[in-house]
Amino acid sequence: MKKLLLVILALAALITFAACSTTEPSTETTINDEDAVTATQQNSTDTLATERLSEPYAELMMSGHYYIESKLYVAGMEVPTTIAVDGNNSDTIGNAFGYQSRTLILDGIMYSFDEANMTYTATPAAENADPSTTYNYTNMQYSSSGSSTIAGLENIDTNTYKYEEYVCTIDTNDTQITVPIRFYMNDEDLYAIAINTLGIETVLLITTMSEDIPEGMLQMPEGYTEVADTSQQSAN
């Protein structure tokens, strides 16, 4: 059960929320003072007309720096999960089956912690994911909106929620694959984030999402001893 929990956390860290984009921010634009006033007035009007409730949360994901407390649902399993992301570094803590496990990706190394035995393994993060796949959240774009039940939660919540959908891309060796990301809203509050990756639904019921990452996350904890990764040895 502990190994299964580690696999789930690794998937969450490597596939769902570790923003791996290398895209640079947009370039600067220079305009004169008169144009600036006109543009500001027009932008203000446009923003009010097209404002989306999900926009602050989408911008957090695009920034590559955020913190989430949630219940993660994947493959019919529920795992209370805490996630912190800062660029290519991520920290994912999950609780299930009576165990707490932690997966920390730091400077290209994935550390998997065994809280009960105070040990950890360390492997290159690229060995735990398809090296030809790169998620690009900085270029995530709004796609559509609507109302629906949440796929993956059919046995838990059959209510219908309004959603706002964005898309990002996976760059593979041969092509680009579009990945839809839905932000489900409960009135004006973010209720869930659903990501469909090649037919696999990953859903987070959101408790907290912010830019404030608690102290101690994204850092190596003290008091742990490194051990060999026996799963890699058995695979060989």
- Listed by start position, the domains of the chain span 2-21+57-221
Backbone angles phi, psi at 175, to 5 degrees: -160, 175
155: pLDDT confidence band, cut at 50, 70 and 90? confident
Residue 52: Cβ-neighbour burial (10 angstroms; 0-12, 13-18, 19+):
middle
161: pLDDT confidence band, cut at 50, 70 and 90? very high
Dist CA 165 CA 143 (whole Å)? 5
Dist CA 140 CA 235 (whole Å)? 36
231: pLDDT confidence band, cut at 50, 70 and 90? low
Dist CA 209 CA 231 (whole Å)? 33
HEC string of 52-69 equals: CCCHHHHHHHHHCEEEEE
Pairing of strands 225-226, 119-124: parallel
- State mean pLDDT over 83-103: 87
132: pLDDT confidence band, cut at 50, 70 and 90? very low
Does position 78 have pLDDT exceeding 60, yes or no?
yes
184: pLDDT confidence band, cut at 50, 70 and 90? very high
Does position 134 have pLDDT exceeding 90, yes or no?
no
pLDDT in tens, 55-76: 999 999 999 899 999 999 987 8
Alpha-carbon distances of 8 from 29, 33, 66, 74, 203, rounded to whole Å: 43, 53, 20, 8, 13
Does position 105 have pLDDT exceeding 60, yes or no?
yes
What local confidence, expressed as pLDDT, does residue 142 receive? 95
Residue 208: Cβ-neighbour burial (10 angstroms; 0-12, 13-18, 19+):
exposed
Q: Please state, as a whole number, how many other Cβ atoms lie within 10 Å of the Cβ of residue 56.
A: 13
Dist CA 190 CA 164 (whole Å)? 11
Q: What is the CATH number of domain 2-21+57-221?
A: 2.50.20
What local confidence, expressed as pLDDT, does residue 4 receive? 55
